[in-house]
């Protein structure tokens, strides 16, 4: 596993917003929950909704299609057993790096 550049620090979402970023052949959802940045898979397990286009409520990323909630720190959904991958992030010299 190696860290690769995902974005510039200036491109990160504002507090309590989420945003999509392309990383190789996949999309990553980056969430800013109260100033804490985290990254997870962008595809909701329910119907494939784009999590990075959702909003943040109560510290969770809400899928814009059907409202499933995802914890951006753990990847856990409110639905028992539903979990998506979370990626380690690092910010160095203005670059946002993600471990792939």
Mean pLDDT of the chain: 96
**Residue in this structure with the two tokens 């974005």, named with its chain if needed:** 7
Q: Of the candidates 19, 20, 28, 12, which has an alpha carbon nearest to the alpha carbon of residue 98? A: 28
pLDDT for 64? 98
Burial of 16 (0-12, 13-18, 19+ CB in 10 A): middle
Q: Is the CATH code 2.102.10.10 the one for domain 3-99?
A: yes
CA 18 from chain centre, in angstroms, equals: 7
Residue 36: pLDDT band by 50, 70, 90 thresholds? very high
**How many Cβ atoms sit within 10 Å of the Cβ of residue 27?**
15
**How many Cβ atoms sit within 10 Å of the Cβ of residue 53?**
15
pLDDT for 62? 97
pLDDT for 6? 97
pLDDT for 1? 74
pLDDT for 63? 97
Residue 56: pLDDT band by 50, 70, 90 thresholds? very high
- At residue 9, the 3 state secondary structure works out as helix
Flag whether pLDDT at 67 surpasses 80.
yes
pLDDT tens column, 87-98: 999 999 999 999
Using CA atoms, how far residue 55 sits from 34, 39, 58, 59, 81, in Å, is 13, 14, 10, 10, 22
């Amino acid at each position: 596993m190696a860290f690769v550049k995902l974005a510039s620090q200036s491109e990160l979402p504002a507090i309590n917003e989420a945003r999509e970023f392309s990383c190789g052949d996949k999309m990553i959802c980056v969430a800013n929950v109260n100033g804490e940045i985290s990254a997870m898979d962008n595809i909701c397990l329910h119907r494939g909704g784009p999590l990075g286009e959702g909003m943040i409520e109560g510290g969770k990323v809400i899928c814009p299609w059907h409202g499933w909630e995802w914890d951006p720190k753990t990847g856990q959904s409110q639905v028992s057993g539903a979990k998506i991958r979370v990626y380690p992030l690092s910010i160095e010299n203005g670059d946002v790096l993600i471990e792939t």
